[in-house]
Amino acid sequence: CDSQQEDGSFTLSPLINEHLNMNPNDAIKSLKRFVGSPRLRGCDDSVWHTAFTIYYLKNILPDHENVWRDACDRASKWLSKQIDDEKLEKELFSACKQYLIKQGSRVLYSTKRKNRESFRVHRLNVDDETRKTVFDYLRSKGTADIARSLCSAQESNGTFSPQTLTTLHPLIPSPESAVESLKLFASRPKLRNCVDSIWHTAFTIYYLKNVLVDYEDEWRTACERASNWINDQIEDPELEKELYSACEQYLIQQGVDFINKEGGIMEESQEEVDVIVLQVSDETRKAVHKSLCDDVTDE
């Protein structure tokens, strides 16, 4: 509550940023990807800071309501005055909810990884039009040189080295962050505990087959060797299916982020953009909230 301004609005507290391991500027950009309304996307950052802080206080610190109640009441009144639309305000808080779960899932996975606790993971739910937009865009950037560069990073045993993901920068920030994010889309402990080379190889195979489709002559042989290696490691058709599903969802997530940074999906039409909807079970939501609440209590 110390971050509340005189007008009732909030700035994102350093404590929240640290707890959720997030950068304020990146947080705003990510939050806006969960809304379709141009008006919300164009809101001042103070609206997003305030809404997210309200949502965080009410859902992560419910046991300390006596501390934040008055501050939240002031902030809520300020926010309602800025938005002046109940439907938009509902969409605003829905975005806060989804982003909190997304960040919370990462924190939960990171802090609980050693204990190998399992929980149902989120799935990206994008419509066919958005999916097509992402893949069409990525394919338009594909070249034979990229295909050859990816294949040149294949090891003697058929795996693809981390260098393949480095080649895809800035779409893929780094091999390390890619593997960490990819595992968030896998629910089975066996996949989450796989060596990184399995994820490097599976994602590269998926990228070659689904993005560089026009250059199959360049990658066919390399992909066959890599696929055979994956089969030998996984030895389970269902697990392998989930592995490639995780690769697809991560690629779409990164593609949407990349396109939005370039100017946004459907920018020319001036219509409401298609947005990512994070679908999680109640079990996941409760696990995330409980973990974050426990973190605050422990501190």
Q: What is the largest CA-CA distance in the chain?
A: 66
H or E element at residue 124: strand 123-125
The overall pTM is greater than 0.85: no
DSSP SS3 for 278: strand
Say which residue the tokens 């992402």 belong to: 134
Say which residue the tokens 């046991």 belong to: 63
User: Token pair for residue 22?
Assistant: 């997030």
Q: In angstroms, rounded to a whole number, what is the distance separating the alpha carbons of residues 19 and 41?
A: 25
User: Token pair for residue 135?
Assistant: 């893949």
Q: What is the dihedral of CA 250, 253, 256, 259, to 10 degrees?
A: -50
Peptide bond into 62 cis (omega under 30): no
Q: In angstroms, rounded to a whole number, what is the distance separating the alpha carbons of residues 5 and 277?
A: 31
Q: In angstroms, rounded to a whole number, what is the distance separating the alpha carbons of residues 106 and 109?
A: 5
CB atoms within 10 A of CB 99: 23
72 and 57 Cβ atoms separated by less than 8 Å: yes
Element counts in the chain: helices (H) and strands (E):
15, 2
How long is the chain? 299
Indicate if the alpha-carbon torsion angle 247, 167, 105, 10 is positive or negative. negative
The three-point CA angle 134-212-263 to 5° equals 30
The CA distances from residue 247 to 60, 83, 189, 198, in Å, are 31, 38, 16, 11
Predicted pLDDT at 198: 97
CA 15 centroid distance within chain: 22
Say which residue the tokens 């893929």 belong to: 172
Q: In angstroms, rounded to a whole number, what is the distance separating the alpha carbons of residues 185 and 181?
A: 7
H or E element at residue 277: strand 277-279
- Per-residue pLDDT 10s for the chain (299 aa) are 788 899 999 999 988 988 888 888 888 988 998 888 899 999 999 999 999 999 999 998 888 899 999 999 999 999 999 999 999 999 999 999 988 888 887 776 665 554 444 444 556 677 788 888 899 999 999 999 999 999 999 999 999 999 999 999 989 999 999 999 999 889 888 898 899 999 999 999 999 999 999 999 999 999 999 999 999 999 999 999 999 999 999 999 899 888 877 655 433 333 444 455 555 556 666 666 666 666 655 54
